[in-house]
């Protein structure tokens, strides 16, 4: 390995692992671990907690189940200015065996980026953070603490993650086997990085920040941070809703609610998490071109912790929803599994994150067992 190896900071920890235990490397080189099942959908179900039936509206004065919208384009009114997204890539390096004990070893690249769009439409990176994480079951071997100490000495660019440490989510989204937990852990750490980036962002209070994914568990983090909302392309299918109809109220499952949601329209906003957040759905694409009702729809979450259940003005929800419809990206069918729910500026934020990642080829070359060549 040369001195320019971007993973040089992990070299002492990897050499220590190789010295203290018997390493069984991944066949050939590092292998990428994928998250299964869909992480965003599972996390959405977890973070909703006991919210499976939504009957209380958190907006006023609208009570209709569907509100049609005229798209608000940037040239007419520039509402959404900042866009935040994150990404994570996890690789299995191999197993280390100590007597009858064993743990898998993984390396993840996690990152988050916020882009800012000017009135001209030009988009620049406003802030970004990247980190390389070494993962293992620390207690599965006797030298886990030593590995963690060596990674911490490598500097802020590197981090250590104990795969068996509870975080409130990973233990519910993945099994007990370390290898199955690694990509879920990486996404959990990525979400924390996104939250930190969004919370610390210096921006005009009138400029909305749009973040991809779910609101985190700590809603009070956003108590004094104005104009921030989340857009989720993959959400739980389990909730049911009570809406107003001509004959009173009607109970619908999610498929029924979204089947009648017109293009360029939103649902009413429901109270979630005991009124500390509002959720609603917006259709970005005409359903006639799609395979089933949930395609072309995004779920919107707006934190409401300071209001403690106080209703949000319908006009505000209309405005940001109409701006969202105008953000729709014309993604070719088949290019991405979620092409039908893409937002262009979020896509640019995601690309900004991935552009900061070290290539898979460099990762596989830089973290290949056995560790023979000394690091300069």
* Residue 374 falls inside a structural domain: no
* Residue 114 falls inside a structural domain: yes
Give the count of domains, the chain.
Answer: 1
Sheet strands (E) in 2-157: 22-25, 31-33, 53-54, 59-60, 66-68, 80-98, 101-117, 123-136
* Residue 40 falls inside a structural domain: yes
Q: Which residue has the higher pLDDT, 149 or 50?
A: 149
pTM for the model stands at 0.88
* Residue 3 falls inside a structural domain: no
pLDDT digits (tens, 9 = 90+) for 83-138: 999 999 999 999 999 999 999 999 999 999 999 999 998 999 999 999 999 999 99
- The secondary structure of residue 288, as a DSSP letter, is G
Q: Are 141 and 23 in contact (CB under 8 A)?
A: no
pLDDT of residue 305: 75
* 3-state SS, residue 186: helix
pLDDT of residue 50: 66
pLDDT digits (tens, 9 = 90+) for 249-261: 899 999 999 988 9
The residue among 314, 234, 241, 317 whose CA lies nearest residue 47 is: 234
pLDDT digits (tens, 9 = 90+) for 331-347: 545 555 555 556 888 88
pLDDT digits (tens, 9 = 90+) for 223-276: 888 899 999 988 888 899 999 887 888 999 999 999 889 999 999 999 998 888
pLDDT of residue 2: 44
* Residue 2 falls inside a structural domain: no
What distance in Å separates the CA atoms of residue 57 and residue 255, rounded to the nearest whole number? 19
pLDDT of residue 168: 82
Q: At 282, list the tokens.
A: 């917006």
- 375 — pLDDT class (breaks 50, 70, 90): very low
* Residue 1 falls inside a structural domain: no
* Residue 139 falls inside a structural domain: yes
pLDDT of residue 376: 38
- 213 — pLDDT class (breaks 50, 70, 90): confident
What distance in Å separates the CA atoms of residue 269 and residue 246, rounded to the nearest whole number? 19
- pLDDT value at 179 more than 90: no
Q: At 372, list the tokens.
A: 């023979």
pLDDT of residue 296: 82
Domain of 250, in residue numbers: 8-366
Q: Is 97 left (phi over 0), alpha (psi -120 to 50) or beta?
A: beta
Mean pLDDT of the chain: 86
* Residue 372 falls inside a structural domain: no
pLDDT of residue 374: 44
* 3-state SS, residue 297: strand
């Amino acid at each position: 390995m040369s001195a320019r190896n971007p993973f040089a900071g992990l070299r002492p920890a990897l050499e220590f692992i190789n010295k203290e235990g018997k390493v069984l490397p991944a066949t050939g080189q590092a292998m990428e671990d994928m998250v299964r099942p869909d992480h965003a959908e599972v996390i959405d179900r977890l973070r909703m907690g006991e919210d499976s039936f939504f009957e209380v509206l958190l907006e006023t004065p609208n009570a209709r189940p569907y509100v049609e919208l005229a798209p608000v384009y940037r040239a007419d009114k520039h509402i959404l200015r900042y866009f935040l997204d994150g990404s994570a890539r996890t690789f299995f390096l191999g197993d280390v065996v100590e007597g009858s004990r064993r743990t898998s070893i993984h390396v993840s690249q996690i990152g988050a980026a916020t882009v800012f769009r000017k009135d001209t439409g030009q988009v620049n990176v406003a802030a970004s953070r990247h980190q390389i994480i070494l993962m293992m079951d620390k207690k599965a071997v006797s030298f886990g603490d030593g590995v963690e100490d060596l990674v911490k000495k490598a500097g802020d660019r590197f981090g250590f993650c104990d795969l068996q440490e509870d975080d409130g989510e990973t233990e519910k989204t993945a099994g007990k086997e370390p290898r199955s937990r690694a990509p879920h852990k990486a996404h959990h750490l990525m979400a924390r990085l996104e939250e930190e980036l969004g919370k610390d962002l210096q921006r005009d209070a009138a400029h909305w920040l749009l973040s991809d994914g779910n609101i985190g568990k700590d809603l009070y983090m956003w108590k004094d941070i104005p104009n921030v909302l989340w857009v989720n392309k993959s959400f739980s299918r389990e909730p049911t809703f009570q809406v107003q109809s001509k004959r009173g109220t009607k109970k619908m499952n999610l498929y029924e609610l979204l089947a009648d949601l017109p293009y360029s329209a939103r649902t009413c906003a429901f109270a979630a998490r005991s009124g500390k957040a509002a959720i609603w759905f917006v259709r970005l694409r005409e359903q006639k071109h799609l395979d089933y009702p949930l395609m072309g729809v995004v779920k919107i979450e707006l934190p409401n912790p300071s209001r403690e259940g106080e209703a949000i003005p319908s006009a505000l929800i209309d405005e940001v929803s109409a701006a969202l419809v105008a953000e729709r990206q014309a993604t070719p069918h088949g290019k991405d599994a979620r092409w039908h729910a893409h937002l262009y500026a979020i896509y640019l934020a995601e690309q900004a994150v991935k552009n900061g990642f070290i290539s898979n080829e460099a990762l596989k070359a830089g973290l290949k067992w056995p560790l023979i060549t000394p690091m300069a």
